[in-house]
Amino acid sequence: MTSAERRAQVTWTGTLAQGTGRLRLASGAAPELPVTWASRTARSEGKTSPEELIAAAHSSCFAMGFSLGLTEAGTPPESLDVTAVVTFAETTGGFRVASSRLEVRGVVPGLDQAGFAAAAEAARDGCPVSQALRGNVEISVAATLDQAS
């Protein structure tokens, strides 16, 4: 069985409201990223948030899974453009990650809109990040098939 660990580390200074964090990815794939409470609840202003990182993980995981599913079904994608919109909301019990909305546009020769939408639903359900969020976060997918140019 294949197994992999990935690491990220944050150093936080100060209070929640006025403090700042510095996020580092152990892979070195991105430069050190600033993170603040305001980047979660108001404007990002060039800073990231845990929810943006969840959106990055969800969109890339879904794209990989969708590509695999389409290819295994005999209709490999020419291109997929995936956006994940993760909502951080205040509820009666406090703040929580409430939803992740996947939006995908793709060019897949030999597939119609209904087949594309069905494959997107299957990819949403099979994506490991979706599986990690399931039961706690509402997950939806909107799929639009574009024509090859």
User: In the predicted model, is pLDDT for residue 43 greater than 90?
Assistant: no
Whether residues 68 and 94 share a domain: the answer is: yes
Query: Structure tokens of 94?
Result: 């406090």
- In this predicted model, what pLDDT tens digit does every residue of 49-71 receive, in sequence order? 999 999 999 999 999 999 999 99
Phi-psi region of 28 (alpha: psi -120 to 50; beta: other; left: phi over 0): left
In CATH, what number is assigned to the domain containing residue 88? Answer: 3.30.300.20
| Domains of the chain: total | 2
Residue 135 backbone class (left: φ over 0; alpha: ψ -120 to 50; beta: rest): left
Chain centroid to Cα 143, Å, comes to 15
Residue 1 lies in a domain: no
Cα 46 to Cα 41, 57, 95: the distances in Å are 14, 19, 22
Q: Based on the fold, state whether residues 138 and 70 are members of the same structural domain.
A: yes
Is 12 inside a domain boundary?
yes
Residue 22 belongs to domain spanning: 8-41
Q: Does residue 2 fall inside a structural domain?
A: no
Do both 54 and 101 map to the same domain? yes
Q: pTM, whole model, 2 decimals?
A: 0.93
104 lies in a domain?
yes
What is d(CA 14, CA 19) in angstroms, rounded to the nearest whole number? Answer: 4
pLDDT one-digit tens code per residue, 69-127: 999 999 999 999 999 999 999 989 899 999 999 999 999 999 999 999 999 999 999 99
| Interatomic CA distance for residues 52 and 48, integer angstroms | 6
Instruction: Say if residue 123 is in the same domain as residue 69.
Output: yes
The answer to whether residue 87 sits within a structural domain is: yes
At which residue do the structure tokens 């294949």 appear? 2
Same domain, 93 and 141: yes
Same domain, 36 and 66: no
Q: State both tokens at 77.
A: 């994608």
Residue 28: predicted pLDDT: 95
pLDDT tens column, 15-33: 999 999 999 999 999 999 9
The encoded tokens of residue 139 equal 């997950």
Considering the domain architecture, whether residues 66 and 135 belong to the same structural domain is answered as yes
